[in-house]
Amino acid sequence: MEIVKNIIDWVLEIIAKYGLLGVFIGSAVEEIIAPIPSPLVMMSSGAALLGHYNDISVGLVTNMFLVAIVGSFGATLGSYVMYAVGYFGSKPVIDKTKKFTGVSWDEIQNLQSRLDGTKKDELTIMFLRSVPVMPSVVIAVSCGVLRINPLSYFVSFFCGGIVRNIIFLIIGWQMGSAYLQGADSLESITSIVSKVIASILVVLLGYLYWRRYKIGKGREV
């Protein structure tokens, strides 16, 4: 865990020091080293690079999109390491590397059931990548195992990543210095990320419940 903590400290440092270059490098590293919390780079970037904006403005929106695009590009390139693990591996390899990747064969089969070999697969991958609570390493390894076309994978992973990044950038921007002060250890970062993910899940479940309720009321009428 000490090694992971050192890497996290390094990622936070290069973002603060090198700006967009740090975002690119940090995003790539984040995808390669599975134990690093996935929202780390974007939430840190939102707090460190966008924290000086007090209100919504053209400058904030422009820079947010720029950071999101650069981060997604770096993350997509970095994800090809896990994509290769899936592409050149097999069930025994996936099982043996589960401790490192965090991906089980059951998760791959679950994703495979959502893909049907058509153009809709690209939209499915893009959507899954945009969902904040969906582990990106599961998508990367699964797409490798399923032999998704590398170019199609790039486009889907990259576009979905922009949406995902914007969500975490907004959260980091809103938390501002409070996030940076709290992100001084692996435990605190994990705690922050867990609370954010839990909040997102609550909102999603609330929306689904509300939609189901509305549909039910519509049928009654």
Domain boundaries, given as residue ranges, for the chain: 2-220
pLDDT in tens, 25-69: 989 988 887 666 667 788 888 888 887 888 888 889 999 999 999
| Total number of residues shown for the chain | 221
| Dihedral angle computed from the Cα positions of residues 71, 11, 38 and 164, in that order, rounded to the nearest 10 degrees | -20
The CA-based diameter of the chain, rounded to the nearest angstrom, is: 60
Q: What is the pTM of this model?
A: 0.74
The CA distances from residue 155 to 23, 114, 128, 152, 204, in Å, are 19, 18, 13, 5, 26
Cβ pair 35, 49 in contact under 8 A? no
Per-residue pLDDT of the chain in tens (221 residues, 90 and over written 9): 566 567 767 777 888 888 899 999 989 988 887 666 667 788 888 888 887 888 888 889 999 999 999 999 999 999 999 899 888 876 777 777 776 666 777 777 777 777 766 678 888 889 989 988 787 888 888 888 888 889 999 999 999 999 999 988 988 888 765 555 555 444 454 455 555 555 555 565 666 666 666 666 555 55
